[in-house]
Amino acid sequence: MTASANGVERTVRIRNKLGLHARPAAEFVKTASRFEADVFVRKDSLEVNGKSIMGMMMLAAEYGSEITIRASGTDSEEALNELVQLVEGRFGEE
């Protein structure tokens, strides 16, 4: 985890075979929305709001790609930790 003036961030690899399709994107948004922290996700040069299903779908993050999750504000570390666990746990998929 990296801390900066913009909050905390961590880069993780998409491990589920189907990538960041509708169900995992919805799980991510649902989890991110439980926190007060602002959450942003970046893949390559595109950064989106991690609480937006449309934004998450726009990332088109396929199996093996890397995304960077950034959280700032209240409960940002807790939010980042849970979101990283979700991604590293393959969103409960294979």
Q: What residues have CB less than 8 Å from 60, skipping those under 6 apart?
A: 19, 20, 43
Tell me if 93 is assigned to some domain. no
Q: How many whole angstroms separate alpha carbon 31 and alpha carbon 27?
A: 6
The whole-chain average pLDDT of the chain stands at 94
Cβ atoms of residues 6 and 68 within 8 Å: no
21 flagged as catalytic: yes
Q: Catalytic pick from 10, 12, 16, 21? A: 21
Domains: count for the chain: 1
Tell me if 63 is assigned to some domain. yes
Tell me if 94 is assigned to some domain. no
- What are 59-73's pLDDT values in tens digits? 999 999 999 999 999
Domain that holds residue 70: 2-88
- What are 70-82's pLDDT values in tens digits? 999 999 999 999 9
For residue 13, pLDDT over 70 is answered with yes
What is the CATH number for 18?
3.30.1340.10
Tell me if 55 is assigned to some domain. yes
Tell me if 52 is assigned to some domain. yes
